[in-house]
Amino acid sequence: MSAVAVAADYASVDGYPLGVHHGIPFETYLRLPAISSHGLMLIERSPMHYRHAIESPHKPTQAQALGTLVHALTLTPDLEEYTVAPVVDRRTKAGKAEWAEFQADAEARGLLVVTADQMTRAQAMRDAVIAQPFARALLADGDPEVTMLWERDGVSCKARADWVCGGHQVIVDLKTAADASEQGFRRAVGQWRYHMQAAHYIDAARATGLGERTFVFIVVESEPPHGVALYQLGERELHAGGVRIRRAMDAYRECVDTGSWPGYPTEISPIELAPWAL
């Protein structure tokens, strides 16, 4: 995949017209030559890291696989997107053959392979989300996995909303976490820069005709009792996220224009510790 995501005619991205799209497979979305909020976060780390990520996609971790399964069970339960791995003795010839046949079938059908334990946990997490009254109300009406494509200052942009509510002007992002408490999620926002994601998606909704949307996180814990909490970032946080998005976009555009994707600064940099570390 090319690292360059500049719009050629400002009307489409890889044949998909700018605007809102339903039903685009996730793998197709990933290949679309447009910049996402995750891509801009990588640009913040260094353009070199961004280019490496799109040219050499990594295999999902166990935590990411669990999150994907929770999304599928909660948001797209009618789609066959996963399969439970059989329990076979791969030390035997028959077991190896059965496993190879299973893997080949799952790969051919593009299914996520999960264990029985992962399925049991994901189902419990799904049930916890649906049992939360405000989460259930937001997910009662709307569309899952909505792709938004737009152009910003000559650059093709993309975003994929977990859920676009029908009865509320809300975009929902479903996240799994070790700690869904207010303090725990506040740390996660800072660590994973969720305020950049929220700002990017709010811009996406505005640019693609979905209007002014609130961005709400539904957070479910991955361990029992699978606590669930809902959060909305304040104006200060969204403004800060927007500033960082624009700064990363400027850096990205410069890399496209120059063809240079630098890593970390080459000079010696001073390091100052945070007060708590002294």
pTM for the whole thing? 0.90
Neighbours of 60 (CB within 10 A): 12
Q: Domain residue spans in the chain? A: 12-55+132-262
58: left (phi over 0), alpha (psi -120 to 50) or beta: beta
Q: Flag whether pLDDT at 17 surpasses 70.
A: yes
Q: Quote the pLDDT of residue 15.
A: 93
12-55+132-262: CATH class: alpha beta
Q: Quote the pLDDT of residue 1.
A: 40
Q: How far is CA 73 from the centre of its chain?
A: 16
Instruction: Return the percentage of the chain with pLDDT > 70, whole number.
Output: 96
Q: Flag whether pLDDT at 9 surpasses 80.
A: no
Output b/e per residue, 66-80; b: 16+ Cβ within 10 A. Answer: bbbbbbbbbbeeeee
Confidence at 63, pLDDT banded by 50, 70, 90 = confident
Residue with the bigger pLDDT between 233 and 109: it is: 233
Token readout for 231 is: 């959060």
* Amino acid, single-letter form, for residue 205: A
Q: Report in angstroms the alpha-carbon separations of 69 from 39, 86, 121, 197.
A: 23, 17, 10, 21
Q: Flag whether pLDDT at 3 surpasses 50.
A: no
Q: Flag whether pLDDT at 4 surpasses 90.
A: no
Q: Work out the average pLDDT over 24-50.
A: 96
107 phi, psi to nearest 5 deg? -65, -40
Neighbours of 95 (CB within 10 A): 14
For the stretch 171-201, pLDDT in tens is 999 999 999 999 999 999 999 999 999 999 9
Report the distance separating Cα 244 and Cα 192, nearest Å.
13
Report the distance separating Cα 270 and Cα 259, nearest Å.
29
Q: Work out the average pLDDT over 125-147.
A: 98
Q: Work out the average pLDDT over 132-146.
A: 98
Token readout for 200 is: 């990017």
Q: Is 48 exposed, middle or buried (0-12, 13-18, 19+ CB in 10 A)?
A: middle
For the stretch 82-118, pLDDT in tens is 888 888 878 898 888 887 888 888 888 878 888 889 9
